[in-house]
Amino acid sequence: MDLEVKIRSRNIDFYYGKTQALKKINLDIYSNMVTALIGPSGCGKSTFIRLLNRMNDLIASARVEGNLMIDGVEINDPKTDVVDLRRRVGMVFQKPNPFPKSIYENLAYGLVINGIKDKKFIEMRVRESLEKSALYDEVKDRLHDNALMLSGGQQQRLCIARCLAVEPEIILFDEPCASLDPISTRKIEELILELKKEYTIVIVTHNMQQAARVSDYTAFMYIGELIEFDLTEKIFTVPKEKLTEEYLSGKFG
Amino acid sequence: MIVSSKTTKTRGFEFPNASGQKVLCSKNVSQAIGFTVLVLCIVFALMFLGSLIYFIVANGLSVISWEFLTQVPRRAMTQGGVAPAIVGTFYLTLGAIAFSLPLGLACAIYLTEYSPKSIAVNIIRLSINNLAGVPSIVYGLFGFAVFVKVFGFGVSILSGSLTLGIMALPGIISASQEAILAVPQSYKEASLALGATHWQTIKKIVLPTALPGILTGVILNVGRVAGETAPILFTAATFYTRGYPDSIFSEVMALPYHIYALMTEGTRPEVQTQIAYGCSLILLCLVLTISALAIILRQRQRREYGS
């Protein structure tokens, strides 16, 4: 199968004020694959993933250098439309963060802010996204209830559905199961495997088993550097770097 | 080895043993004394509040009647009602809200969401907080100089509303800022990540979520200034009007000023004092109703959003 590079990172340096958080990151992320970023806390994996939809723009002291391209287009270019970029690059956060609105409004929000007014179309898209995120059967009778009434796992699937509703090309998962129980975690993982047919997925995870279960490629990061990047099965069976092997075998982390 | 002394040794530090009742006892006694003092302080504070309400109600209730609430004053304030003063206070309060809500909210949005972190902005924040401490009579003079004289609005509802509004402004800005800052960052991130602009995020996520806090702040601060006398003394209030105001440029009677007038002018203090108590009772009810409204609003929204 031909691999198509969706995201290309070249010599990415990132600073919070004077602290360098990422050092010369070179990484290719392929279309319709799940790429996992693993590494101990503070290694820069969340920082990296938040560069992909320019969420780090919110931090005043943040500074990025190097090239970061999606479909060959530099995303840190001043001419890039950040709003459009974020629509194309969806994000699911560490803690489920539905809006304090109804389930329906949560899902319709992304469409409404992107200028869609057709009620029928919105209704259809709401239903589709709920079906895709395997939540439809659980909530179809209470679409107008407050989303905060759902369980944590359901909330997280709602957030995934909300993200799907605006038809992104890439979905970033920032430790999506960090606050969930094992059963909810399994549902999310099944969902990720299902979603990669249509989307390019990048997932940050603390959980090495999770990376092994859901990802095709794995990048191991350590203190701001990319140590190793390869097929997940290779990383987990025959890592090239000693540091990777030590981390995976639990010698540190 | 079993140690059976009166003290147990823990890393060389001596604790009195459980049998050393004396120590244990004195600990409990000091706690009991502490609690009692705190309870007494509460009772003391409540006593003042209670007696205030009691005196106002006891003295004021006798003059309250349908006539008192709906009639204009007659015979140099000694007969008839205080309806124009009630209406005047109502207009002034409404005017103060109409002016200070949009302005205060806009300032709060700018300061929390848009302003760069700079010394100038910090000075602005500090000045806003300090404005809250300016004596109300100073606001009154300012309103007189600017609205009545410079802008030429005269002694009118407009001048009074603007003066009261300015006085409520610092409190409204602080309360709105707090409410906006209390909106979880995760909501904003979720909205931005879906491709919303900063302004859409503020309009559709931040403000609706912060609304209960903002409204509570507005209501409490306007409620506070609604009972003020000094700011309207030279800008809006008058001793007596024959009827009701017919435009925003009319001068009006207002409850706080009416109380002041009844107690300082006129020829029949014994009757006027009674009427003053009646006015106080109405004013008190008005302000308490406004506060109650704020509380109900906050509770309802809290339930809805389950925060």
pLDDT by residue (tens digit) across A196-221? 899 999 999 988 899 999 999 999 99
Least confident of A141-145, A147-151, B57-61, B80-84: B80-84
Please check whether residue B21 lies inside any domain of the structure. Answer: no
Euclidean distance between CA atoms A201 and A164, whole angstroms: 12
Which candidate in B115, B194, B206 is best for mutational testing of the A interface (most A CBs within 10 A)?
A: B194
Average pLDDT, chain A: 91
- Determine phi and psi for A213, rounding to 5 degrees: -75, -40
Å from B112 to nearest chain A CA? 13
Please check whether residue B88 lies inside any domain of the structure. Answer: yes
> Are the CB atoms for B192 and A55 separated by under 8 Å?
yes
> Are the CB atoms for A25 and A9 separated by under 8 Å?
yes
**Cβ-based contacts of B117 with chain A (< 8 Å):** 60
Residues of chain B with pLDDT under 50: 1-5, 306-307
Euclidean distance between CA atoms B130 and B38, whole angstroms: 32
Euclidean distance between CA atoms A199 and A189, whole angstroms: 14
Please check whether residue B6 lies inside any domain of the structure. Answer: no
Q: Which domain holds residue B257?
A: 62-305
Q: Pick the residue with more confidence: A163 or B244?
A: A163
DSSP state of A149: G
Please check whether residue B47 lies inside any domain of the structure. Answer: no
**Would you call A204 an interface residue with chain B, using a CB distance cutoff of 8 Å?**
no
Euclidean distance between CA atoms B262 and B277, whole angstroms: 10
pLDDT digits (tens, 9 = 90+) for B13-58: 666 555 555 555 677 888 899 999 999 999 999 999 999 999 999 8
Residues above pLDDT 90, as percent of chain A: 72
Å from A226 to nearest chain B CA? 25
- Max Cα separation, chain B? 98
Q: How confident is the model at residue A1 (pLDDT cuts 50, 70, 90)?
A: low
Please check whether residue B243 lies inside any domain of the structure. Answer: yes
CATH of residue B269's domain is 1.10.3720.10
Euclidean distance between CA atoms B216 and B213, whole angstroms: 5
Whether the pTM exceeds 0.90: the reply is: no
Å from A251 to nearest chain B CA? 34
Q: How many domains does chain B have?
A: 1
Give the fold, CATH level 3, of A5-248: Rossmann fold (3.40.50)
Least confident of A17-26, A226-235, B10-19: B10-19
CB pair distance less than 8 Å for A163 and B193: yes
pLDDT digits (tens, 9 = 90+) for A37-90: 999 988 999 999 999 999 998 888 889 999 999 998 999 988 889 999 999 999
Here the tokens at position B87 are: 């209406």
> The complex's ipTM?
0.91
Q: Quick one: pLDDT at residue B13? A: 60
| In chain A, where the domains are located | 5-248
Please check whether residue B17 lies inside any domain of the structure. Answer: no
